[in-house]
Amino acid sequence: MFTTLVNWRNWRLPVKLAAVLIVPVTIAVVSGVLQIQSHMERADSYAALQRLEKVRTALIPVVEGVQAERRVVAEGAGPQLLQEQVRRTDAARETLRVAIEKASLSEVVTARMNDVHAKIGRLPALREQTADVPAAVKEYTSLTESMLDVDEVLASDFGDAALSKTAMGLHHALHVQEEVLYQQSVVLSGLTRGLLAQAEVRSLVESNVKLSYIAGQFAALATPEQLNSYWQGFNGPDIESHRKMLSAALLHPTSDSASANGSRPRPLPIAAADWTKASGAVAGSLDGVVRGLQTDLRDTVNRLRDETSDAAGAASALLFASLVLAGTIGFVVGRHLLRSLGALRRSALDVAWEKLPAMVATGRGSTEVEPVPVHTTEEVGQVARAFDAVHQQAVLSLVEQAGLRANMRNIFVNLSRRSQSLVERQLKLMEELEKFEEDPEQLANLFKLDHLATRMRRNNENLMVLSGGDVARRFTRPIPLTDVLRAAAAEIEQYQRVQVHTAPSAEVVGYVASDLVRLLAELLDNATAFSPPQSQVEISASIEAGDIVQIDVVDRGIGIDPDALAAVNGRLEAAGEGADVQVFREMGLFVVGRLAARHQIVVRLDAQQGKGTRAIVLVPAELAPRREESWESFRGEAIEEQTMTMRVPGQHTSWFAAAAAASPPQPPARQTPESARGFLDAFQRGVQKGLPDRQESR
């Protein structure tokens, strides 16, 4: 890295141009990204506060529902009114549950909320035990205070300066309202009985003190507008009436004192309707304050989130505009310099990757070169003219090399055809000699010569395949798959070791059959060469999914290590490309690759469990379709004709007579090994006779 920085003279021209702009652009990008990130983080925090605000908004109806149930129980309104209020409270609880599921609450709030849910879970039992009104009022009050504690924790999460006072002021307003409604329920409970208990009076005094304290906290946090709305609600005849009735209740003798004096209890000098109206008016005034604070909090949170989101968008747009402007300036400045160099580079790459490889692949092309489209006389133009000269010399060299390769290929093809022609004449001559030879030993020797000549013909055909020529042997009719396997076995030297299994009913199309025979013969030859002489090589076929014909050649030889196996499969997939000494050392392997690629046949080698190698040949369904017509009509004739051939060595049968039989019949006990070899040689010549006339190169 340090060396690259020091050698700045070797930098590419775009890099040098970019280096001029990289420092200011980097500073602008870093600053912009940091600013955008800050805005996005604030927007996310306000989004979280929006969710908290929704939880608080859903919590307040639950608090109000519990307070209303407490009032109904305290005034003894009856079960019907209580059930109506219970339904409203349960609906508010469901709304709160949904809001909590959508919000991400802190651990403290979650713990408090779990406590509230546990207490709310006792509501059904509490509603069944409303006979003891003071105890029920106490339980309802405990639940309400728990929910207000949760609201206080929620309010403390509004840490933003623009929101914290309003959030906490809302909590104080709810608390003031709770104290007023608590006083309402306690007095109503006493009015139902006629007198208040000493504990109830004490709780009313404590509630009044708490109310004054919380009201002072609210006044310290509220804005002038919020404070004005608060004090407007606490002025009026209902407020004054509420204060007087509360004072009368606190000063009236309690039921405990009346019992101690033994005097007759005197009821509270307060009408329940008047008390309900006055306390309800105070609570209603506070409810207006609560609603106003809720609206202020919601509007402020939404406004702050919108502002931060807009700020993030504006910063992103400004950063993008700055980058576009910097890029435009760099593009305009460097365009003139880069245009000529770009044209030169594109022309060079086109010559290197397209034109020259195309000439190498086809061996054809014009010797005229297209000049680089840079027509200036300055340094870049001089480099372009120099490249044109190099291109011209490369084209001339390629044309010369292509001619040499074509001549060598033609030489190999002509030599192969001449040798093949001589081998064919030799085979015909040996066939004539075999017809009239009666000495079994001489006949066996002639069969060996016949087989060696057949192998020589296959080597000539392999050489022609590697030279790019086409082999003359072609079938014009579909050939049964079983016959293809047998013909491949008959092509190799150690044909006695090949065990051909019955193949499925399929036919190989004519133009593929001869190449498939040659391909399988090479695999069988390789299998017999690299396996013990006493072992057998098995060849079988099956039809797999998609009607693909799978042919397996299995030997029990020395096997092959994984690295060598991968290398062999790699050369097979390469389709025998290239021509060097390695091709002639492993001619069979390259021929298999060429023939497989010609017909899109897949060939691969796999290691057998234990030892040995398995060659797998996958023939596409269109090259070896299932055989629909029945061959049973002439199978018997073919078997009979083969039996006659086995009994008379040297007698030959036609291609279809040899190809129709599914498997050779068991020889009679009196036959000798020479007669069996004679049968296989006769079968091979039957294959040869079934071929069209071969071309001979003289």
pLDDT at position 91 is: 92
pLDDT at position 618 is: 92
Give the H/E segment covering residue 606: strand 602-607
* Size (the chain), residues: 698
Return the ∠ at Cα 443 (arms to 417 and 486), rounded to 5°. 60
Say if residues 474 and 461 touch (Cβ distance below 8 Å): no
pLDDT digits (tens, 9 = 90+) for 344-403: 888 888 888 887 777 776 666 667 778 888 887 877 788 888 988 888 888 888 777 777
pLDDT over threshold 80, residue 497: yes
pLDDT at position 687 is: 45
Return the ∠ at Cα 306 (arms to 303 and 307), rounded to 5°. 85
Mean pLDDT of 534-561: 87
Share of the chain above pLDDT 90, in %: 3
pLDDT at position 662 is: 36
pLDDT over threshold 80, residue 500: yes
| CA dist., res. 347 & res. 365, Å (int) | 17
pLDDT over threshold 80, residue 590: no
What single string gives the DSSP state of each residue in 274-342?
A: HHHHHHHHHHHHHHHHHHHHHHHHHHHHHHHHHHHHHHHHHHHHHHHHHHHHHHHHHHHHHHHHHHHHH
pLDDT at position 694 is: 40
Where helices occur in 121-236 by DSSP H, the ranges are 123-127, 133-156, 161-193, 198-221, 224-233
pLDDT at position 105 is: 72
pLDDT digits (tens, 9 = 90+) for 634-691: 333 333 333 333 333 333 333 333 333 333 434 433 334 444 444 445 544 554 444 4
End-to-end CA distance of the chain: 69
Return the ∠ at Cα 185 (arms to 183 and 190), rounded to 5°. 95
pLDDT digits (tens, 9 = 90+) for 394-453: 888 877 777 777 777 777 777 777 776 777 787 788 777 777 777 788 777 777 777 777
Mean pLDDT of 177-187: 89
pLDDT at position 561 is: 79
DSSP one-letter code for 12: -
pLDDT confidence tier of residue 4, bands split at 50, 70 and 90 = low
507-508 and 549-554 beta bridge pairing: unpaired
Q: How many CB atoms lie within 10 A of CB 281?
A: 18
Q: What phi and psi, each to the nearest 5 degrees, are found at residue 621?
A: -60, -35
Residue 671 vs residues 146, 497, 609, 646: alpha-carbon distances, Å = 109, 18, 37, 8
pLDDT confidence tier of residue 1, bands split at 50, 70 and 90 = low
pLDDT over threshold 70, residue 233: no
Residue type present at position 358:
A
pLDDT confidence tier of residue 495, bands split at 50, 70 and 90 = confident
Share of the chain above pLDDT 70, in %: 81
pLDDT confidence tier of residue 8, bands split at 50, 70 and 90 = confident
Counts for the chain of helices (H) and strands (E), in that order: 23, 7
pLDDT confidence tier of residue 29, bands split at 50, 70 and 90 = confident
Average pLDDT, the chain: 77
DSSP one-letter code for 541: E
pLDDT digits (tens, 9 = 90+) for 206-229: 988 998 898 888 888 888 887 887
pLDDT over threshold 60, residue 554: yes
Mean pLDDT of 629-635: 39
Of the spans 121-135, 267-281, 425-439, which averages the highest pLDDT? 267-281
The burial of 204, by beta-carbon neighbours within 10 Å (0-12 exposed, 13-18 middle, 19 or more buried), is given as: buried
In this predicted model, which residue has the larger pLDDT, 237 or 547?
A: 547
pLDDT digits (tens, 9 = 90+) for 292-348: 888 888 998 899 889 888 988 898 998 888 888 888 887 887 787 788 888 888 888
